[in-house]
C-alpha cells in the first residue's frame, strides 16, 4: 500500500490518502478518486505524482 499526503480543497487540512498497489503506476495513468477523511468528498489524485488534479499547473 502506498500512502501520501494531500491538502483538502474544501477544509484546507492535510489529509493522508493511500493507493492499494505497492508499485508506482506508469506515466500517463488515469487519475484516481480518493475519499477525503476531512470532508468526506472525493478528490481526484494523479497516481504518478500523488498530487490533486486541482493543484496542477497546466
Q: Which long-range contacts (CB under 8 A, 24 or more apart) does 11-15 make?
A: 11/36, 11/38, 11/39, 13/38
What was the pLDDT predicted at 57?
Answer: 62
Q: Is the pTM of this model over 0.85?
A: no
CA 51 to chain centre: 5
What was the pLDDT predicted at 29?
Answer: 87
Taking the CA of residue 36 as centre, how many other CA atoms within 13 Å lie in the half-sphere pointing to its CB? Answer: 19
Domains of the chain: total: 1
Residue range of the domain that includes 25: 2-55
Q: What is the pLDDT of residues 28-57, one digit of tens each?
A: 889 999 999 999 999 999 998 889 998 766
Amino acid at each position: 500500500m502506498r500512502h501520501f499526503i494531500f491538502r483538502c480543497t474544501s477544509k484546507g487540512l492535510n489529509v493522508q490518502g493511500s493507493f492499494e498497489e505497492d508499485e508506482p503506476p506508469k506515466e500517463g495513468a488515469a487519475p484516481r478518486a480518493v475519499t477525503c477523511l476531512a470532508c468526506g468528498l472525493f478528490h481526484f489524485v494523479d497516481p504518478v505524482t500523488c498530487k490533486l488534479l486541482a493543484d496542477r499547473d497546466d
